[in-house]
Amino acid sequence: MYKAIISITLRPSILDPEGKTVHHGLKNLGFTQVDDVRMGKHAEIRIDTTDEEEARRVATEACEQLLANPVTENFEIELEEVASEAA
Amino acid sequence: MYKAIISITLRPSILDPEGKTVHHGLKNLGFTQVDDVRMGKHAEIRIDTTDEEEARRVATEACEQLLANPVTENFEIELEEVASEAA
């Protein structure tokens, strides 16, 4: 069993209104050292396979087909081998 | 200048409707090996300091005060030293 830890972020050239809003909020709270904020999505997917390459393929296809917008977003995948949960 | 890469996830005991919806969507697309999906938030914060400990303190306080709900969410922080952008 593998766990794919996926971070999906907007491409750098794309305006990030959510990031701007969080940045503004942090400034109001006195976080003057915060220079920029970019927000994105985090996903953790448990994949039922013992083959790391297959886990990477499944996670990549899941991003390409559903989780990430190929036009505006980038995604990064980290894989961890995890114990199968008791049935 | 440091970049804090933050992942904010629901505590394991908390029901994750967004994760269930994505899991359902992946099943409909034929991803039968996907066993479970947990969704969360990803944030990248640029912090104007040369001191790693200070960057970690700022990122932790930003999570505690704004980004993460202390009752329902956990957060993890990774720090990277990055070049300052030209003014």
Q: Which ipTM score applies to this complex?
A: 0.89
Q: Mean per-residue pLDDT for B17-29?
A: 97
d(CA A84, CA B56): 33
Helix (H/G/I), strand (E/B), else coil: B64: helix
Q: What is the CATH number of the domain that holds B56?
A: 3.30.1280.10
Tell me which DSSP letter residue A54 carries.
H
Interchain pair B38, A44: CB under 8 A: yes
The answer as to whether A86 is a domain residue is: no
**Per-residue model confidence (pLDDT) at position A83:** 85
The answer as to whether A8 is a domain residue is: yes
| pLDDT exceeds cutoff 90 at A85 | no
Residue A60: closest C-alpha in chain B = B31
The answer as to whether B86 is a domain residue is: no
How many contacts does A have with B, using Cβ atoms within 8 A?
102
Closest CA to A1 of A69, A83, A70: A83
Do β-strands A2-10 and A34-47 pair in parallel, antiparallel, or remain unpaired? antiparallel
Domain range holding A65?
2-81
pLDDT tens digits, A40-71:
999 999 999 999 999 999 999 999 999 999 99
The answer as to whether B87 is a domain residue is: no
Looking at the structure of chain B, the number of domains it has is 1
CB proximity under 8 Å: A 41-60 to B: 41-49, 54, 58
d(CA B87, CA B24): 46
